[in-house]
Amino acid sequence: MSSFAQHPAVAATAAQIAAEAQAKNGTTAAAAAAGNALARSSSPANSVVSNAGLAWPSVGTETRLTESAQAREERLGRIAGAVQTILENVGEDNAREGLLKTPMRYAKALMFFTKGYEESLTDIINEAVFEEDHDEMVIVRDIDVFSLCEHHMVPFTGKIHIGYLPDKKVLGLSKLARIAEMFSRRLQVQERLTKQVALAIDEVLKPRGVAVIMQASHMCMCMRGVQKPGSSTVTSCMLGAFRHDPKTREEFLKLTIG
């Protein structure tokens, strides 16, 4: 059982669920309910970093990360085959010169677009956390971000602004951009991407506060559906002092989006 599951608050919640189930359905249901509660509590969703150093890994992440070169080629082949099927079903001719290599090109491109699944937060940080007596705001702004909407698998692109209030520790500046890159190179929604970046920085540094704002244009809104090119979506995640102190939040907003 994980240390998270052994936390007193988690154990108390599980015990309460068990007691309620016992009163209603008997001992068997109680045991099952308690087990389910602990399983939910110890799931990867409750922790930023897995034992392998991966941040919120998906179900196939470790397989993709550790597969052999031959297995990687077989994976590319399966994706390329699926792309051929798509091309056929939109009415195209797979034998046409311009499309002959498209399935494999797209397969390789998709693996690059989603390379964030294979990246380790531990490796990205690479011990670039330094003791420093600095307690003023640190901001890296206008970080370009490219991601794929998980609903339609079309791009959304924009900029992300990251700030934190150190608590005797600072992070190498390039690592903030690398963290944003890692989470953006996955199938995403902007809301989750923004929050994952903030929580990862909070986990790594344990600062007094973290703030992340993202502004992006979504091709699923521009090219299809409502078809509104030029529209922009803004999301934010404020932790610690940025959430609780209006003046701190106001300073960050003024320095990033004006």
Query: Active-site residue among 118, 119, 149, 215?
Result: 149
Query: Active-site residue among 190, 196, 215, 237?
Result: 190
Query: Active-site residue among 152, 203, 222, 251?
Result: 152
| CA–CA gap between residue 208 and residue 206 (Å, rounded) | 7
Let me know if 149 is a catalytic residue: yes
| CA–CA gap between residue 201 and residue 179 (Å, rounded) | 8
Let me know if 152 is a catalytic residue: yes
Query: Active-site residue among 181, 196, 215, 218?
Result: 218
Query: Active-site residue among 151, 191, 244, 250?
Result: 151
Query: Active-site residue among 132, 150, 191, 250?
Result: 150
Let me know if 92 is a catalytic residue: no
Let me know if 220 is a catalytic residue: yes
Catalytic residues: 149-152, 190, 218, 220
